[in-house]
Structure 1
Amino acid sequence: MALPIREQVKYWSIALAVFFVALWVLGGVILPFLVGGAVAYFLDPVADRLERAGLSRVAATSVITAGALLIVVALVLAVIPTLVNQLTALVNAAPDIALRLQTFLLERFPELADGTSTIRQSLAQIGQTIQSKGAALAEGLLTSLASAISIVVFLLVVPVVAFYLLLDWDHMVARLDQLLPRDHAPTIRRLGREIDGALSAFVRGQLSVCLVLGLYYSAALMLAGLQFGLVVGATAGAITFIPYVGAIIGGALAIGLALFQFWGDWVQIGIVGAIFAVGQFLEGNVLTPKLVGKSVGLHPVWLLFALSAFGTLFGFVGMLVAVPVAAALGVLTRFAIGQYHGSLLYQGIAGRIPEDEDQA
C-alpha cells in the first residue's frame, strides 16, 4: 500500500532540504565532484556514439580523455596567455582611451574646456577608475579562484572524477532507476527524460553556440586588425546565451575600440560592425535553431534569476547547479500545471459533468 500523499510530500521535502543544506555546508568540498559530474554528463553522448561505432566503454572514455587533454594543453599554451595579455593591456590602456575620448568631446563641445566642469572632471577620472577597479577586480578574482579552487584540484581531482563517472555513467543511471519508488517510477522516468532533454538541449546547445561565435568573433576581429580583438570576441561569445545581449555588448565594445583605433577610416570601422552583424545573423538563423532548438523551455530571464539566486545563496557551487535546477523546476512546473488543469480544483463540478456523461 502506497504512502498517503501528505506523507510523501513530507519525506520529499525533507530530502530536498537536506540537499540544500549539504550544498551550503559542503560547497567547497563537493565542488570538484560537481565539476567532474558536469563534464561527464556533457561528454556521455559522445561516449555513447563511440560505443555505437564499435568501441568499448573503456576505449571510448580513454579516447575522450585524450582528446580533452590535448584541447586543454593547446588552450594553455596558445590561447590563454594571449587572452590574459590582451586583457591586461586593455585595462592599462583605459586612461589613454578616456583621454582620447575627452579630447574628442572637447573638440566638438568647447564648453567642456572649463576646468571646473563636472563632466570634464568625471571624464578625467574614468580611465584611472577603470584601471584601478579593473586591476582590483582581476586580483580579487584570481585570489578568490586560488582560494576556492586549487590548481591541484583542477589538474588531478576533476579529470579523475570525470573519467570514472563517464566510465560508469550508464551503470549509475541504471542503479538510480532501481531506487525509484515503484508507484511513481514511470512518472519520474518521464520527467527525468524531459529534464534531460531541456538541460542537454540548452546547455550543450548554448555552449556550442557560445564557442562557435566566440571563435568567429575573435578570429574575425583579429584578422580585421582590431586591438584586443581576442578579448572582445571571447566576451561576446561568453554572454551569447542571452539573446542579442552578446552581440550588442560585444559590438558596442568593438566599435568603440575601432573608433579610437581607426578614426577616419570608416571602411575599417564598417568592417568591424559588419562582423557582428554577420555573427548575429548566423546566431539567429543558423546556430541557435540547429544547435539549441525551439522547445527548450528555459527562458533567459528565468535562467538569470536562477543564476543570481543560487549564486547569492551558495556561491560558485550554486551557480554550477543553477542551470540543472532551473531546468528541473521548469519541467516540474509544467507537469504541475498539467495536473492542475486536469484536477477538480481547475475544472470544477461543471467541468467534470460532460466527462462523466461521456463515460456513461
Structure 2
Amino acid sequence: MTKFETRCLSICFLLSVTAIFYWSFGALIPFIVGFVWAYLWRPLILKAQNHNISPGISAFCITFFTYCILGTTCIVLIPSVKHLLIFLFQNLSVGKEEILSMISSTLKKMHIPSQNGYWIERTLEDGLSITTTKLKEIMFYVLQSGWTVAKVLTIIAMAPFLSFYIMKDWGAFIKALTTCIPIPYRKEVLKGIESIHLTFSAYLRGQALVCISLCGYYGIALKYSGLQFGWLIGVLIGVFSFIPYVSVFLGICVSFLIALLTSASVSLKILGVIFVLGYGLEALFLTPFLIGKRIGVHPIIVLLAIFSLGHSIGFVGVLLSAPLTAIVVAFLRLIREYYLKSTLYQGRER
C-alpha cells in the first residue's frame, strides 16, 4: 500500500468515526458525561494508588460520594427551581404594569427625551411579554414532555455508574487504545494526545474551581442582599458559569426582575455592585489564575466558538463551546509545531 493510499484510508476512517459519533451523539451522552467525570477524578485515583489503594476501591468511594451529592441536589434544588419558575410566571403576568411604570418614572428622572423613552419602554414591554410567554412554554414543556425528563434522569443516574467502570479499568482501557495506534505513528500520536490532555485537564479542573468559587460568592452575596431566591440564583450562576457570559447575563436579568417584582425590597444599586464585583473576580482573578495562562484562549475566540457552535447545533453547542475550543487550540498548536519543523516552512530538505 502506497503512502497516498495509507493517508486516504486514515482520512476515511476518521471521517467515518466522526459521522458515527455525530449521528449517535444522543445515545452517547451518558458515556461522555461518565468519561469526563472519571477524567476529573483521575489524579485522585493515582494518588490513592501510590498509597496502595486499588482503583476499584477508589472508584467505588467516588461513585458513592457522587450519588450522595446528586441525591441531595435533587432534593434541595429541584423544588426550589420549581418555586422560582412559578414565582416568575405568576408575578410577571400580574406585575408587568408596575414594572413598566417604575421604568417610566426612572427614565423621566434621567431626563431622557420622550421619543427615546417611548422606544425603550416599548422594547422592555415586548421583552417582558416574550419572557412571560417563554416561561409558560418552559413550564408546560417540562410538565408534558415526560420522555425528555426521563432521558435527563437516565443520564444523571447512568453517568456515575458508567464512570465507576471507566475509573476502575482506566489503565487497561488506555493500554488497549495505545496498541491500536500504528507503530510508525505511535510516538507522534501519543505526543499529541498528551498535549491535548494537558490543555483539557487544565481547563476542566480550573473551570471546576471557578464554578465552586462563584457558587460561594454569588450564593452568599445575593442571599444577604435580601433578594428573594438569592441563594438559588447565586448557586445556579456558579454551576452554569462554564457556559461563558450566558449564566451571568441570565442571573443579572432574573435578579433585577425579582427585585422589581418584589417592590424593590433589595436595592438595585447593591445588586449592580454584586455583579460588577463578581464579574471582576471571575475575569481578573479566577479565570486568569486557574485557567488562563495554561490554555491561552482569548475571549474573542471563546465568543466566536459560542456563536458558531450555538448556531450549528443549538444549546448543546453553547454548552460544549469552551471545552471544544480548548481541545481545538491544543490541536492547532500541534499543527503549528509540525509546520515550523517542516521543509515547507524551513525551505530545505532534511
Q: Secondary structure of the residue that 2:226 maps to in structure 1? A: coil
CA drift at 1:221: 0.5
Other-structure match for 2:291: 292
8 Å CA contact retained: 2:218, 2:234: yes
CA drift at 1:207: 2.8
For residues 190 and 121 of structure 1, do their structure 2 counterparts lie closer, same or farther at Cα, with a shift above 3 Å needed? closer
CA drift at 1:315: 6.7
Q: Does 1:271 align with 2:270?
A: yes
Other-structure match for 2:227: 226
What per-residue deviation string (whole Å, max 9, x for no partner) do you get for residues 251-298 of structure 1?
465356546657497xx4443333334433432454334432412144
Other-structure match for 1:183: 184
Q: Does 1:30 align with 2:28?
A: yes
Aligned pairs for 1:32-181 within 5 A: 32-107=30-105, 109=108, 124=125, 126-140=127-141, 146-147=147-148, 150=151, 153-154=154-155, 156-181=157-182
Q: Secondary structure of the residue that 1:75 maps to in structure 2? A: helix
AA partner of residue 332 (structure 2): T
CA drift at 1:189: 1.3
8 Å CA contact retained: 1:307, 1:319: yes
Gapped runs of 5+ residues in structure 2?
none
Bigger shift: residues 280-289 or 240-249: 240-249
Separation in 1 of the partners of 2:312 and 2:135? 25
Q: % of aligned pairs identical? A: 26
8 Å CA contact retained: 2:142, 2:149: no
Separation in 2 of the partners of 1:203 and 1:260? 37
AA partner of residue 295 (structure 2): V
CA drift at 1:95: 3.5
Separation in 1 of the partners of 2:192 and 2:125? 57
Separation in 1 of the partners of 2:288 and 2:238? 17
AA partner of residue 213 (structure 2): V
Separation in 2 of the partners of 1:6 and 1:188? 19
Other-structure match for 1:343: 342
AA partner of residue 54 (structure 2): S
Separation in 2 of the partners of 1:150 and 1:283? 33
AA partner of residue 100 (structure 1): E
8 Å CA contact retained: 1:32, 1:157: yes
Larger Rg: 1
AA partner of residue 136 (structure 1): E
TM-score, structure 2 length as denominator? 0.80
CA drift at 1:177: 1.6
For residues 206 and 142 of structure 1, do their structure 2 counterparts lie closer, same or farther at Cα, with a shift above 3 Å needed? farther
Q: Aligned Cα RMSD in Å?
A: 3.8
Bigger shift: residues 102-111 or 166-175: 102-111
8 Å CA contact retained: 2:67, 2:160: no
Other-structure match for 1:208: 209
Q: Secondary structure of the residue that 1:189 maps to in structure 2? A: helix
Aligned pairs for 1:306-317 within 5 A: 306=305
CA drift at 1:48: 1.9
8 Å CA contact retained: 1:195, 1:331: yes
Bigger shift: residues 64-73 or 271-280: 271-280
What per-residue deviation string (whole Å, max 9, x for no partner) do you get for residues 36-68 of structure 1?
222222222222223234421111111101111
CA drift at 1:33: 1.9
Separation in 1 of the partners of 2:87 and 2:210? 28
Gapped runs of 5+ residues in structure 1?
none
Q: Secondary structure of the residue that 2:40 maps to in structure 1? A: helix
What per-residue deviation string (whole Å, max 9, x for no partner) do you get for residues 67-106 of structure 1?
1111111111122321332233123322445322321244
8 Å CA contact retained: 2:203, 2:323: no
Separation in 1 of the partners of 2:172 and 2:120? 65
Separation in 2 of the partners of 1:206 and 1:145? 32
